Amino acid sequence: MQGLYAVGVAAVGMGIARAMLSAFIELAQRKTPRGQGRLGASATVRADVARSEARLGSARAYLLETLADIYARADEIAPIGVEDRGRVRLACANAIHAAIEVADWVYKTAGVDAIFPGAQNPFERRFRDMHTLSQQIQSRSSHFEAVGQILLGDPPEGFL
C-alpha cells in the first residue's frame, strides 16, 4: 500500500512541475525583466529549461519503466518482494525530488510573476502545492538511505 501511495504522490508532483515548466516556457518567450533582454533569450535560462525538461522526462521514464517491469512479473498470489518495493520507493522518491527541484527553479527564475496569488497565476498556487507535497512522508530524503540499504543487501527492518 505504501508503494501505491508513493506512486500517486510522485504523479501529482510530476504533474505540478510539468505545468509550472510549461507555464514558464510561455512566460520566458514574452517576459523582458527590467534592464535585461528577453528571459528566453538568456543562454542560462535556455540551458536550465533543457535541464529541467530532461530531469522531468528522465524521472518519469524511470518511474514508468520500474512500474512496468514489476507489473509484468507480478502475480495474484504473493505481494512483491523487498527488492521490488525498494525499486518502487526509489523511482518514486527520485520523481518527487526531481519535481521539487524543477518547481523551485521555475519559481525563482519566473521572478515577481510567480509571487502573486490568484487564479490567473500559474506559479504561486502550484509552488505552495509542491511544497505541501514535499512535506509528505513519501518525499523524505531518508528513502534513498533505506533503498541503499536494500541494494547493499541489508534491508531496513520493517521496510514497506
The tens digit of pLDDT for each residue in 85-144 reads 999 999 999 999 999 999 999 999 999 999 988 778 899 999 999 999 999 888 889 999
Q: What's the mean pLDDT when you consider all of the chain?
A: 92
Q: Parse the chain into domains and list their residue ranges.
A: 2-151
Note the pLDDT tens digit of each residue in 19-61: 999 999 999 999 888 888 898 999 999 999 999 999 999 999 9
45 sits in which H/E element: helix 43-73
Q: What is the mean pLDDT of residues 146-152?
A: 93
- The DSSP symbol for 147 reads H
Share of the chain above pLDDT 70, in %: 99
Give the burial string for 127-147 (b: 16+ CB within 10 Å, else e). bebbeebbeeebbeeebeebb
pLDDT of 160 reads 56
Domain 2-151: state its class.
Answer: mainly alpha
Cβ atoms of 66 and 87 closer than 8 Å? yes
Cβ-based neighbour number of residue 6 at 10 Å = 26
| pLDDT per position as a tens digit, 84-93 | 999 999 999 9
